[in-house]
Amino acid sequence: MSIAEQLHRRIDELNQAQQEELLHTIEQWLNEKPPHDAEQEEREQLIKVVLAQRLADKETRKAKGRPLDEVMAELEKKYDWR
């Protein structure tokens, strides 16, 4: 199981309040900007991808029939993630 899959599984196990707390913690962590290293950049990119995929999944369900790839491409362009 990949790290991203493990993160998705663990996040799905949390209740809504815990997910909101996790999101707040991640946003704080990403905004802290400690000394830069290659591993940190990789972790930040992984978190962004996982969160983008979760948001895209949610948006896809709302749109009923909108392809995940289309939603992901739109989010990546909107937030300049790639």
CA 69, CA 60: separation in Å to the nearest integer? 10
Measured over the CA atoms of residue 35, residue 36, residue 39 and residue 45, the dihedral's sign is positive
Residue spans per domain, the chain:
3-79
Looking at residue 68, its pLDDT comes to: 72
SS3 category, 13: helix
Q: Judge contact between 26 and 69, C-beta under 8 A.
A: no
pTM score of the predicted model: 0.41
CA 57, CA 59: separation in Å to the nearest integer? 6
Looking at residue 43, its pLDDT comes to: 83
Looking at residue 33, its pLDDT comes to: 66
Looking at residue 36, its pLDDT comes to: 65
Local confidence pLDDT in tens for the 82 residues of the chain = 778 788 888 888 888 888 888 888 888 887 876 666 777 788 888 888 888 888 877 776 666 677 777 777 887 887 777 6
